[in-house]
Structure 1
Amino acid sequence: MDVPEELPVAGTVVLLRTGEHGLEVLLMRRPEHGSFAGAWVFPGGRIEEIDRMPGAGEVDDARRAAIRETSEEVGLDVGELVVLSSWTPPEGIPRRIRTWFFLARSSAGEVRAAAAEVVEHAWITPDEALRRHAAGEWILFPPTWVTLHDLRAFRDADAALAGADQARFYVTRIEGTTFRWEGLRLETQTLPWTLAVE
């Protein structure tokens, strides 16, 4: 594998629980300003100095950032995090941040959303989140869309955690109106995007 490009780094937690209709994830809608304005995302944010430890690798710093940001944004503590994926944004965009996605089982307790960062939140099945995006009710950015699409394969939280046995690395390329990764392309001509496997 190539050496990762030097970029600012963030960590994101895909919180899982098993609900009445199977696997559910926690998604939250960002305010209409700032990063991912108006979009539904998983909790997370950039690595800060408090997250860095001497001699630690990027993924470990991202893990600490993901845990801290989840606590700050939705008031939930998380335990063991399983690496799911790494997303490197395309060249040529103004703010490029590589983001590590982690899976974690939700702790007991109610969501306590930070008003400045979370407009609303929902525990929802991946299928229903994707349906709302397809209907134009929600905005999902490509990493969130792809993550939800992949999680549809699992019936509950246990299966999803057991199935994350190998991290996937996505380096985004833009060709015209298409996002491309390893064997995937995501059309961006219209919202919602459509996924095609090449």
Structure 2
Amino acid sequence: MESPIVGRAATVVVVRDAEAGLEVLLLERPVAGSFGGAWAFPGGRVDPEDSHPDDPEEHAVHDEAFSAAPAAVRRAAVRETREETGLLLAESHLVELSRWVPPARAPKRLTTWFFLARDPGGEMLLSADEHVDSAWLRPAVALERHAAGEMVLFPPTWLTLHGLAGAGSVEDALGSAPRPAAHFASYQLLDADGRIEAVLWAGDAQYGDPAAAGSGRHRLTISRLPWVYERT
């Protein structure tokens, strides 16, 4: 049974240039709580105060053809980053990267927009209630730690890091952001025991129908480490 979309969320991939190359900011969530024990980018749910009376109509927010992030989502991205890290971002500096719709079986389905933003500098102050650690890492290093079982990641975080692994600098990352933003409506492929074998997206032959024939692949196999991404 498909669970309804119950709201919206914003995630910000904060990046900076370092001696070894591009680094991203990752935050470790507490074991007890949402995304328990996982490393994730700053972000959170869109709150009522993020919406303004003069905002444009948002009736098409969940339509796949709707590509631009609503103003309320951008405000939430800035607010959540400030609350979680103390970093002060400008809405105008957010580059829309992707939009994610959780699988139908997910218990709490929030359409989530991912943004890319340059590190604004300044002191970082973690929200003690929401995070237990932080790290600036090259995307490839984070993926290596995940493959070794040293870091917990969720598929949207993993795939975002995978996409940034080839960027040599902040300018490279910002310049290669897809236009329009990528759209990922996730579908879970289950094994015979009902466990999640892979997450599929549009373009995969079995997307929406595990019995379908065809060789096209657009999936992330997560049944064992290391995870394997295929797109043909």
The question of a shared fold, defined as TM-score above 0.5 by the shorter chain, is answered with yes
How many equivalent pairs are there?
A: 194
- The residue type paired with residue 16 of structure 1 is V
Question: Is 2:169 the counterpart of 1:128?
Answer: no
Uncovered stretches (5+) of structure 1, i.e. residues with no partner: none
Shift of the alpha carbon at 1:12? 0.5
Shift of the alpha carbon at 1:173? 0.6
2: CA distance, partners of 1:53 / 1:134: 43
User: Secondary structure in 1 aligned to 2:105?
Assistant: coil
Question: Is 2:222 the counterpart of 1:188?
Answer: yes
Structure with higher Rg: it is: 2
Shift of the alpha carbon at 1:19? 0.4
2: CA distance, partners of 1:45 / 1:145: 18
Shift of the alpha carbon at 1:6? 4.9
2: CA distance, partners of 1:74 / 1:192: 30
Q: 1:149 to 1:187 in 2, by over 3 A?
A: same
* Aligned residues with identical type, % of pairs: 47
| CA deviation map 1:147-188 (0-9, x unaligned) | 000001211001111111410000001121211013421112
Question: With structure 1 as the length reference, what TM-score do the two structures score?
Answer: 0.93
Partner of 2:176: 163
Uncovered stretches (5+) of structure 2, i.e. residues with no partner: 62-68, 191-196, 204-217
The 5-angstrom pairing of residues 27-38 of structure 1 reads: 27-38=26-37
- The residue type paired with residue 37 of structure 1 is G
Question: With structure 2 as the length reference, what TM-score do the two structures score?
Answer: 0.80
1: CA distance, partners of 2:151 / 2:94: 27
Match of 1:94 among 72, 88, 107: 107
Partner of 1:65: 76
| CA deviation map 1:50-80 (0-9, x unaligned) | 1112334452211111110000001101121
Asked whether the equivalents of residues 100 and 184 of structure 2 are also in contact (C-alpha less than 8 Å), the reply is yes
- The residue type paired with residue 151 of structure 2 is W
- The residue type paired with residue 219 of structure 2 is R
Partner of 1:45: 44
Question: Is 2:148 the counterpart of 1:114?
Answer: no
